[in-house]
Structure 1
Amino acid sequence: MKPNESLLDKLHQLQIKNRELEQVHLLQTLILDGLHVILTIDDIDTLFAQFFGLLRQALNFDAAVMTQLSKDQTQLLPVSSTETDNSGALSIVQHVHQKGLQRPLNAFHISLLLEKPLPLSSPWANMRSLLGIDIRTQHADYQLWIFSSQRAAFGPHDLTLLQQFSSFAGSTINQVEKRRLQEQQKELEAKQDQIEKVLMSSEKMASLGQMAAGVAHEINNPLSYVLSNIQNLAYNHEQLHQLIEALKHEVAADKAQSILEHYRYQAICADTDDIMAEMTEGATRVKDIVKSLRQFSHPDQSKVDDIDLAELIDNTLRVAWNQIKYSAQVEKNYGNKRIVVTARAAQLSQVLLNILVNAAQACDDNRGLIQITLCDDKDNAFIEIKDNGCGIPEDTLSKIFDPFFTTKAVGKGTGLGLAISKAIIEQHSGSIQVISQPNQGTSFVIALPKQPDLSNYHADDYL
């Protein structure tokens, strides 16, 4: 072999080695960038878009499309594309699939694969060359299609590089799919746990509601007798008093006075009046407890209407003002716009009244402050009622919505107010939360959907 021929042969071998090294370098670059993708991306769509960006570093092409094989193996479904309109590309690759052409595919002239050319209005009509490979994962079969407007744009090295990249791409997609499935499983487990807790709470509340309804019914009947008899007894007492006063005129004054003093008539009358008042107060308190039990177990269905929350709060404040004015000042922050929700005004007013009275009782001096803040977003309205009162100890904070739980003295509260309030808010598809610290105050935050679905409300559901 002549020296020049030997030199040319060595030069050719070096060029081949150089191309191989360049291809290895390109593949390594793709893999390193792909590893970064694995660590930073959890969304499949974003992953495919990143793949297109990675391939542009190694291949010169005009457009790319990722498809997925349908379950019946007959169609290629679009997954992602570098272009907004990928209908033309789908027509091309679907035709390739129907003809049974295997991948990897390196088509030097797309028009030879088609029975008729694409409409000139299609942005894909000027595509001339096509590379296609399969990317298989545990859960799907994908196809990557690379287009160029140049005829015979891709060589064997491009196809080899794409084949090598497809293996790595499949592993990458597997990892992302695995992470996504794990996250979905965690979300499902969390939802299942939440549903189980809700079901347990619902069963508990349903049982408690039935018990409360039964207790209210059993108490209400004898209570009606007691209240009625107290009224009759008061009437009889008044009649006896009038009778004795009338008899006094039939007996000598000094003798009548002696008899009345002997039997302590005036003291007995005064004592009887006190007894009657105490009996009436006690029976009325029991009646209020029964009424609360009924509201808890069987909330009244009231008219659904569009409610201006600022007006509702002001009206409720007027009702509660006699219990607030000696304990606290009220600061209102309603903002500048009208906030309207669809709800049952009577029930929401009951909730606000209960929280406002509790806030006033927590302050219990003329230095108290109750702040009412009203705001909203696109779908929800928010009411915050915050006081600077005594606060709620941490060990009792989780119990305040439990029926019959109260920190008030005996005779001051039944422990049903907040339980009923929570039930009403949840009936409106809302939520109520409380934040409190001892000696620093308490904040109740009510969230209400502006347009809740109240059409499925049935009173019997809350028995």
Structure 2
Amino acid sequence: MGRQMSNKNQQEVLLNQLKAENQKLQEFKKLNNLMLKTMQAFTENIDQSVPFSSLFSLIAQEVNPDIQLIITCNQQGDGVYVVASTNTELEGKDFILKNTEVNAKNIFDKSAVFNSQVKSAWPSILQEFSALASSAIIQPVKITNRCYAIVLLMNNAKGFSAEASSVISNYSSFIASILTLMEYRHVSKERDNLFAQQKRMETSMARQGKLAAIGQLAAGVAHELNNPLGFIYSNLNTFKLYIEDIETFISNACKKSSDTDNLYNKSNLQFIIDDSKELLSESLEGARRARDIIKNLRNFSHPDETTISKVNILKLVEDAIKIANTQFKKQTKILIKSENQDFWIEGNITQLCQVILNLISNAHHSINHSNGLIEINIIRTASWINIEVIDNGNGIDKADIPHLFEPFFTTKEIGQGTGLGLPISRAIVEQHNGCLALDYTGSKGTKFIISLPEYTNASSN
């Protein structure tokens, strides 16, 4: 009888051992399953900005809590901040700890399970969620110099078993390693981006230096051309008067002598005189255009960029368009619409002209069809003057819109853009107490608006 009891006890001991080993095996299988799925999730989406959403879905498959949170210390160190949560109402919230818990970092020291404990004994961070849960797990996750904690909540008392606690505890170490690797990759990517930005800055600085030298050369050439062009313009006007005098003389001579009149008609002098007048008119128009281009070029490249004066917006836009028309294809038309001829602001002509030219240039490059149109509307709104630059180009990609005003960001091909046009333009407009913004963009075109305060005392000058 005693021997039979002994065998029975041995069987029970063996059965208990098997149960314990089976429990450990199941726990190991769950943990291994979590790790495998986590590796797959992170390798497939390693660049996601907030990786915790993948953790929530994986944890829910094995532990199935009602609410999951990722928390970290807030900046003041007197509470915690909810980084992510399956309950969207909790995301981004700060929870200030009670005075008895002086250091919020104590929460991230060790793991803890709260099942049947009285809620008054729970840490204050969990008491904030006591209405949402009867059981809780806090599991710290340390990543380099930052501390996080996984918080799992369940409505049922004793909802978390020892097995669940063990799985989350072991899993958190693995998660910490994965997230640390992700952070290192993020730092490496940021480093590569900084190196690339430095390279772009160096290239841009070299290009800007060349452009500055070209600008100085252009200003010098414009100055040298101004005098001979003045001679040409003046001489053409004088020659026009000479032609008129010659025509009058011939007409009078023909009236006095029939032979002279016959010779006049035979020599076809009337055609020569008429054609000479047209040639002179075309030459004078060309000389005027050349004079205007040189004048605008000298104004634009003027070294004094600190002079503030009263500026007629319509005249400013017209001068910018004259420069633009010498650079762009003829099929792109530029039209001006203005409610008034006397809209005035106070500012620097050179800088504001640069802003308008940059917007016209961007509008032109967005048009790749033969019916290109750029409209510039000048409108008064309250005490502001709005300059609207509208094109019928292809628009801006949605992915590029957040980066439009970032320095060195450009959608143009290499060598065609420095990525400084819009950032510099916005800086200039803001220096004039105004604003530059994208109003809309799409497949049918883009609209930028420059808003500048109106100079109300201009009429008294």
1:20 offset after TM fit, Å?
0.7
The DSSP-based 3-state class of the residue aligned with 1:142 is strand
After superposition, the CA RMSD in angstroms is 5.6
SS for the counterpart of 2:71 is strand
1:106 partnered with 2:113: yes
Q: What per-residue deviation string (whole Å, max 9, x for no partner) do you get for residues 270-317 of structure 1?
A: 989988876775565344334334445646974399xxxxxxxxxx9x
The one-letter amino acid paired with 1:291 is D
Instruction: Give the distance between the partners of 1:99 and 1:179, measured in 2 at CA.
Output: 26
Q: Does residue 197 of structure 2 align to residue 179 of structure 1?
A: no
Which letter maps to 2:140?
D
Contact 1:64 1:147 in 2 (8 A): yes
- Structure 1 contact 129–150 (Cα < 8 Å) conserved: yes
Once the 2 structures are TM-superposed, how far is the Cα of residue 55 of structure 1 from its aligned partner? Answer: 1.6
What does residue range 32-47 of structure 1 map to in structure 2 within 5 Å? 32-42=36-46, 46-47=50-51
Aligned to 2:292: 291
Instruction: Determine whether 1:167 maps to 2:173.
Output: yes
Give the counterpart of 2:214 among 208, 227, 230: 208
**Are residues 1:303 and 2:311 paired?**
no
TM-score, with length taken from structure 2: 0.56
Match of 2:87 in 1: 83
Task: Identify which of 427, 449, 453 aligns with 1:452.
Answer: 449
Distance 1:153 1:134 in 2: 19
Query: Cα gap change, 1:31/1:85 in structure 2, threshold over 3 Å: closer, same or farther?
Result: same
The residue aligned with 1:226 is: 232
Q: How many pairs are equivalent?
A: 348
Q: 1:332-351, aligned counterparts within 5 Å?
A: none
Deviations 1:96-154 (A, max 9, x none): 965946412223325132599999xx864252332212211125211112222333433
Q: 1:283 to 1:50 in 2, by over 3 A?
A: same
Could you list the per-position Cα deviations for residues 62-81 of structure 1 after superposition, in whole angstroms to 9, with x for gaps in the alignment? Answer: 22211113456543221111
> How has the CA–CA distance of structure 1 residues 382 and 283 changed in structure 2, closer, same or farther, with 3 Å as cutoff?
closer
Q: Equivalent residue of 2:140, what SS? A: strand
Q: Which moved more, 1:47-56 or 1:97-106?
A: 97-106
| CA 1:99–1:54: 2 relative to 1, 3 Å | closer
Shift in CA distance, 281/61, structure 1 to aligned 2, threshold 3 Å: closer
CA distance in 2, matches of 1:35, 1:151: 32
| Structure 1, 163-172 or 125-134: larger mean CA deviation | 125-134
Give the drift of 1:173: 1.1
- In 1, the alpha carbon distance for the partners of 2:282 and 2:389 equals 42
SS of the aligned residue for 1:303 comes to: helix
Is residue 44–residue 173 contact of structure 1 (8 Å, CA) maintained in 2? no
Amino acid at match of 2:392: I
Pick closer, same or farther for the CA change 1:24–1:141 going to 2, 3 Å. same
Match among 133, 136, 140 for residue 134 of structure 1: 140
SS of aligned partner of 2:392 = strand
1:147 aligns with 2:153: yes
Structure 2: stretches of 5+ with no match in the other structure:
301-310, 317-324, 332-351, 375-387, 395-411, 418-423, 430-435, 454-461
Q: Scaled by the length of structure 1, what TM-score is found?
A: 0.56
Correspondence for 1:69 among 70, 73, 91: 73
Alpha-carbon distance between aligned partners in 1 of 2:94 and 2:63, rounded to the nearest angstrom: 22
The CA deviation at 1:237 is 5.9
Asked if the contact 1:384/1:446 (under 8 Å) is kept, the reply is yes
1:383 aligns with 2:392: yes
Give 1:53 shift. Answer: 1.8
Give the gaps of 5 or more residues in structure 1.
306-315, 325-342, 360-369, 386-396, 403-422, 431-444, 457-463
Report if aligned partners of 2:247, 2:273 keep a CA contact under 8 Å in 1.
no
User: What is the CA–CA distance in structure 2 between the aligned matches of 1:98 and 1:50, rounded to whole Å?
Assistant: 26
> 1:220 Cα deviation (Å)?
2.3
Match of 1:19 among 6, 23, 28: 23
Tell me, in whole angstroms, the C-alpha distance in 1 between the residues paired with 2:76 and 2:285.
Answer: 74
State the alpha-carbon separation in 2 of the partners of residues 38 and 115 from structure 1. Answer: 32
Contact 1:67-1:143 within 8 A present in 2 as well: yes
Contact 2:35 2:174 in 1 (8 A): yes
1:247 and 1:21, CA in 2 relative to 1: closer, same or farther beyond 3 A? Answer: closer
Bigger mean CA offset, 216-225 vs 139-148: 216-225
Q: Which range moved further: 163-172 or 228-237?
A: 228-237
Higher relative contact order (CA 8 A, sep 6+): 1
State the 1:183 CA deviation.
3.8
Q: Distance in 1 between matches of 2:94 and 2:135?
A: 14
The superposition leaves residues 311-333 of structure 1 with CA deviations (integer Å, 9 ceiling, x where unpaired) of xxxxx9xxx9xx99xxxxxxxxx
**In 2: Cα distance, 1:136 partner to 1:88 partner:** 20
* Residues 215-364 of structure 1: pairs in structure 2 closer than 5 A: 215-236=221-242, 239=245, 281-282=282-283, 284-295=285-296, 298=299, 302-303=313-314
> 1:78, 1:90 within 8 Å by CA — same for their partners in 2?
no
CA contact (8 A) 2:79 2:97 kept: no
What's the counterpart of residue 329 of structure 1? none
Distance in 2 (alpha carbons) for counterparts of 1:183 and 1:273: 73
Letter in 2 for 1:227: Y
- Identical amino acids, percent of aligned pairs: 17
2:320: which partner in 1?
none
Opposite residue 228 of structure 2, the aligned amino acid is P
Residues 18, 272 of structure 1: CA spacing in aligned structure 2 closer, same or farther, 3 A cutoff? same
Partner secondary structure for residue 157 of structure 2: coil
Q: Once the two structures are superposed, what CA deviation does each residue of 1:388-439 show, in whole Å capped at 9, x if it has no partner? A: xxxxxxxxx989989xxxxxxxxxxxxxxxxxxxx99xx9989xxxxxxxxx
Contact persistence 2:119–2:130 (CA under 8 A) = no
Mapped partners of 2:298, 2:113: distance in 1: 73
Which moves more between the two structures, 156-165 or 168-177?
156-165
